[in-house]
Amino acid sequence: MGDFPVPMLMKTTIEIDDKRLMHVMRLAKLKTRKAALDFALIETEKMLSLRNLASQSFYSEDKATIDPQYNLQKLRRKET
């Protein structure tokens, strides 16, 4: 991609489902359309980040992350 500055704010004209927008505004108790769109973008970003995190493996494939001397059964016997 090109090296050009990305604007922090951008004016645009888009077609939006007005019923859906008003429904989101009511549910989230938002007063403006801009607030509803900002809310939708933020919540979508959060959801996609969580979905991405959830799709990653919880366990490391790198066997060196666990001490080879670690023995759970031995530690449990020691505790009792």
39 and 24 Cβ atoms separated by less than 8 Å: yes
- Has residue 29 got a pLDDT over 60? yes
The 10s digit of each residue's pLDDT in 32-68 is 999 999 999 999 999 999 999 888 877 666 666 777 7
Whether residue 31 is contained in a domain is answered as yes
Which residues fall within 8 angstroms of residue 28, CB to CB, at 6 or more apart? 36, 39
Confirm whether 37 is domain-assigned: yes
46, part of any domain: yes
In a domain, 3, yes or no: no
More confident: 28 or 70:
28
Domain presence at residue 22:
yes
What average pLDDT does this structure show over 18-24? 97
Q: What total of structural domains would you count in the chain?
A: 1
Q: Domain limits at 33?
A: 18-54
Give the model's pLDDT for residue 11: 86
59 lies in some domain: no
| Confidence band of 2 (pLDDT split at 50, 70, 90) | low
